[in-house]
Amino acid sequence: MKLVILDRDGTINADSDEYIKSPEEWQPLPGALEAIARLNHAGWHVVVASNQSGLGRGLFDVGSLNAMHAKMHKLLSAHGGRIDAIFYCPHSPDEGCNCRKPLPGLFEQIADRFGVDLKGVPVVGDSLRDVQAGAVVGCEPHLVLSGKGAEFRGRPLPDTFPAGTRVHEDLAAFADYLATRPAAPRAAA
Ligand SMILES: [Mg+2]
Ligand SMILES: [Zn+2]
């Protein structure tokens, strides 16, 4: 199974320091949905792993989150794309859970659900914690410079990033990269 794990806010849709709290506030980044569709057409299954502490902070409820995701699925399907599943951490930072990135709980849930080893699976996010969480379970780390990632534009990544983290302008550039690089051994497995 060719699997890619994506962060949501700042990677697929525009992020906000005020949190994304409603379907109206959920707005795709330019080219992001098309990028997911391109990945799908190249045989990649796409799964989302997202911190949604706004739930734990009481800023929105699960109904609103589901409505955001219904919008995401609908807009994506109009581009011929599909997200197989969305895994999210609903907790606030003080709840001490194991699923809030940079902890690896969401990734362990994904491995369990799909019955796959995540070693070498590309993970894409706009924050250090996204790639750190993936690196714990052996994912291949990719940083996009959309969203919070903009702070890393034009300078070397800090040493806190996992070794080998690749940098892309946005999700579209990541999709181009994945489509054009030679197939790795795991992709042939
Ligand atoms: Mg993000
Ligand atoms: Zn959690």
Average pLDDT of the segment spanning 132-139: 97
Separation of CA 115 and ligand 2 centre (Å) = 21
Nearest ligand for residue 91 CA: 2
What single-letter DSSP state applies at residue 41? H
Strand partners, 9: 13
Residue 120, token pair as written in the block: 């070498």
> Is the pLDDT assigned to residue 189 strictly greater than 60?
no
> Is the pLDDT assigned to residue 105 strictly greater than 80?
yes
Q: What is the DSSP string of 34-63?
A: HHHHHHHHTT-EEEEEEE-HHHHTTSS-HH
Average pLDDT of the segment spanning 131-154: 97
Q: Would you call 61 a catalytic residue per the annotation? A: no
Q: Would you call 170 a catalytic residue per the annotation? A: no
pLDDT at 188: 47
Strand partners, 4: 46
**In the block, residue with structure tokens 């800090």:** 158
Average pLDDT of the segment spanning 72-89: 98
Catalytic: which of 7, 15, 126, 130? Answer: 7
Nearest ligand for residue 10 CA: 1
Query: What sign for the dihedral angle of Cα 75, 86, 181, 154?
Result: positive
Strand partners, 87: 49
Cβ-Cβ contacts under 8 Å for 95 (sequence gap 6 or more): 56
Whole-prediction pTM? 0.95
Residue 183, token pair as written in the block: 């197939």
**In the block, residue with structure tokens 């902890």:** 103
Say how far apart CA 101 and CA 96 lie, in whole Å.
11
6: left (phi over 0), alpha (psi -120 to 50) or beta: beta
- The angle, 0 to 180 degrees and rounded to 10, between the axes of the packed helices 171-180 and 32-41 is 20
For a pLDDT cut of 70, what percent of the chain falls above it?
96
Nearest ligand for residue 52 CA: 2
Separation of CA 114 and ligand 2 centre (Å) = 20
Separation of CA 98 and ligand 2 centre (Å) = 6
Separation of CA 114 and ligand 1 centre (Å) = 23
